[in-house]
Structure 1
Amino acid sequence: MYRVQDLKEKVWNLETIQKDEAMFLAKAPLEELCSAADEIRKKFCDNAFDICTIINGKSGRCSEDCKYCAQSAFYPAKIETYPLLSSEEIVSQAVYNEERGVLRYSIVTSGKRLSDEETDQVCESIRQVKKAADIAVCVSFGLLSEAQYRKIREAGATRVHNNLESSRRYFKEICTTHTYDEKIEALLAAKRAGLSICSGGIMGLGETMEDRIDMVLTLRELGVKSIPVNLLNPIPGTPFEENEIISNDEMCRIVAVFRFLIPDASIRLAGGRGLLPDKGERCFSSGANAAISGDMLTTSGISIRQDMELLEKLGYKAVLYHG
């Protein structure tokens, strides 16, 4: 029989939590679990908090059928659509974020992957951002090749984001137009190109806690240290529009278990955080230590000012964590 405190000591001793132990934690008393996860976070990450913002660099008309996404061309969700933004627009937002204390800025585009021409265009935007602002640049451009990722790194980006979304077992219930292995290969290609990788998932797609744990075990094998934890915002017009929104207690449990599995990670509250009654404050005392601030891709987020005030209240310091 496991105990939360024994498993915490195991993590402190640099031993690896296994799946059966994580499954035990998923049912452990919530307050004890979250308190132990926060202690692990303090030991391995101190008060470092990695806050980033995103810009929707290309919106809508996506060829993929991800059932949660308003940008998919398969579904009648009502969103604004547009091609790649100009360098001027991307740079302007980067400067705005830097002036407000944000250290990391991610350019996100819809679609399965950027074309070579689009990759060249956005590389120029990245170069312009690096000239205008002292801010780290991350990208989320879909399933690119290693050669494309090398261009992106040479332009000045340092990190690639590509969510696995859920476990390998459950992924086919979310998307059929690309595979789990394609996602993993894109992450590995980015690593080979010299970029750090960021990957996580969406909670509330109909997955089980075992699916969530299996996803993080895969991320651990891949060496991922930045893990976005999205809370599904059921958008009208998408197949998941009737899904029940996950409770604050459940989100705290999720990030706490993730902290045990990858103790030194940036566990990042991302899309859907605004649906939580406290905007994630309890999660930031339960193992989470990073966030996406400002507006999300197709939904409203939480302002940078609000987040900076929350970090000060909780005793965190905004830093670039894991490069």
Structure 2
Amino acid sequence: MDITTLGNEVLQGKQITREEALWLYSQPIKELCEKADEIRAHFCSNGFDLCTIINGKSGRCSENCRFCAQSAHNHTGAEEYPLLSAEEILAQAKKNDEQGVLRYSIVTSGKRLSDREVEQMCDTIRQIRRETGISVCVSFGLLNEEQYRKLKEAGVSRVHNNLETSRRNFPNVCTTHTFEEKICAIQAAQAAGLSVCSGGIMGLGETVEDRIDMALTLRELGVKSVPVNMLNPIPGTPFEHNRRLSEWDMCRIAAVYRFILPDASIRLAGGRGLLRDKGKSCFRSGANAAISGDMLTTAGITVETDRELLKELGYEVRYGNE
């Protein structure tokens, strides 16, 4: 087995196995990243899917995710507020639309929005769709198919719901809901006719096997937008002392994910601002999408800065594979 042969098989349509992915993970970084970038160019050309998010409801979350600044179980001093008004969410949508951002995601804390909150957000989303050309994504927790259908009718195109980690490791990250509940919510969104954005966080104490297994689960689910977050260890969370990953750690993950998910948008997300090169090396190692602007509770990288970087790398901002 060698990287070139395995990469060429992926280019011809082969799905690599778990064993092959684990083997790839231990291979020389330069050759691995170069082949991953070739696979990216073959399946995705020079397209780069750029999105932004807004923290539509912050803090007081009932769930005990050990990485999260917004969990009521953690003591981080994160800002707390209920659902933002339609005016606040619309104003940010218009700003991002004017900057050429493709997708705008409304993210809310909590296990799931109530039916009343879903109706409120549907009104807001209809207004965004009337007044802008931006695509609307939502991350509203563990909703059911009926709720997702209402959101789709209101104009939502994509649902975000991170697996966070592998099935094996998930209980080490959260115990107030299960990995299977995540899977059910993703499948409910797909049944409602919505595309799904789902990935995870690297640096939660997971093994290489966990990283590979999460990617394989995403492949089984047919997910085409895969956020790869790097843990930003937040003081006051149980993971505040976790080791921060390096740029080369993230490049290796992006490259192996490209082999596993050859036509997906591999999206650098939270924690990118901690990287010295702001993700540039990852964008040459198989990654071809990003969340721009601020994250939920931490600062990010401005859309203007990202657009300059993408121009330098020869990328064109456009929608990735659905």
What TM-score results when the alignment is normalised by the length of structure 2? 0.99
State the Cα distance separating 1:79 from its structure 2 match. Answer: 1.1
The answer to whether the Cα contact below 8 Å between 2:263 and 2:321 also exists between their aligned partners in 1 is no
Structure 1: where are the runs of 5+ without partners? none
Aligned pairs for 1:160-239 (under 5 A) are 160-239=159-238
**1:87 and 2:86 matched:** yes
| Matches of 1:307 and 1:133, distance apart in 2 | 22
2:6 is aligned to 7
State the Cα distance separating 1:132 from its structure 2 match. Answer: 1.1
1:271 is aligned to 270
Secondary structure of 1:169's partner? coil
**1:109 and 2:102 matched:** no
1:61 is aligned to 60
| Matches of 1:268 and 1:12, distance apart in 2 | 20
1:21 is aligned to 20
2:299 is aligned to 300
223-232 or 313-322, which moves further after superposition? 313-322
Deviations 1:223-267 (A, max 9, x none): 000000000000000000001100100100000000000100000
| Matches of 1:160 and 1:251, distance apart in 2 | 24
State the Cα distance separating 1:322 from its structure 2 match. Answer: 2.5
Structure 1 consecutive aligned stretches of length 4 or more whose deviation exceeds 4 Å: none
| Matches of 1:211 and 1:121, distance apart in 2 | 38
1:243 is aligned to 242
**1:48 and 2:75 matched:** no
Deviations 1:28-71 (A, max 9, x none): 00000000000000000000000000000000000000000000
| Matches of 1:61 and 1:297, distance apart in 2 | 14
Q: Structure 1: which amino acid aligns with 2:145? A: E
| Matches of 2:160 and 2:183, distance apart in 1 | 11
Deviations 1:90-149 (A, max 9, x none): 100000001111011000000000000000000111001001110000000000010000
1:257 is aligned to 256
1:287 is aligned to 286
| Matches of 2:222 and 2:139, distance apart in 1 | 18
RMSD: 0.5
| Matches of 2:27 and 2:131, distance apart in 1 | 48
Secondary structure of 2:156's partner? coil
Secondary structure of 2:138's partner? strand
What TM-score results when the alignment is normalised by the length of structure 1? 0.99
Q: Structure 1: which amino acid aligns with 2:84? A: L
Q: Structure 1: which amino acid aligns with 2:299? A: S
2:32 is aligned to 33
| Matches of 1:306 and 1:25, distance apart in 2 | 32
Deviations 1:12-31 (A, max 9, x none): 11011100000011000000
Deviations 1:132-191 (A, max 9, x none): 110000000000010000000000000000000010000000000000000000000000
How many correspondences in the alignment? 322
Secondary structure of 2:168's partner? helix
2:149 is aligned to 150
Structure 2: where are the runs of 5+ without partners? none
| Matches of 1:279 and 1:232, distance apart in 2 | 14
**1:77 and 2:73 matched:** no
| Matches of 2:314 and 2:250, distance apart in 1 | 21
1:131 is aligned to 130
State the Cα distance separating 1:209 from its structure 2 match. Answer: 1.1
| Matches of 1:43 and 1:292, distance apart in 2 | 23
State the Cα distance separating 1:321 from its structure 2 match. Answer: 1.5
Q: Structure 1: which amino acid aligns with 2:168? A: R
Secondary structure of 2:201's partner? strand
| Matches of 1:187 and 1:256, distance apart in 2 | 25
Q: Structure 2: which amino acid aligns with 1:10? A: E
Q: Structure 1: which amino acid aligns with 2:26? A: K
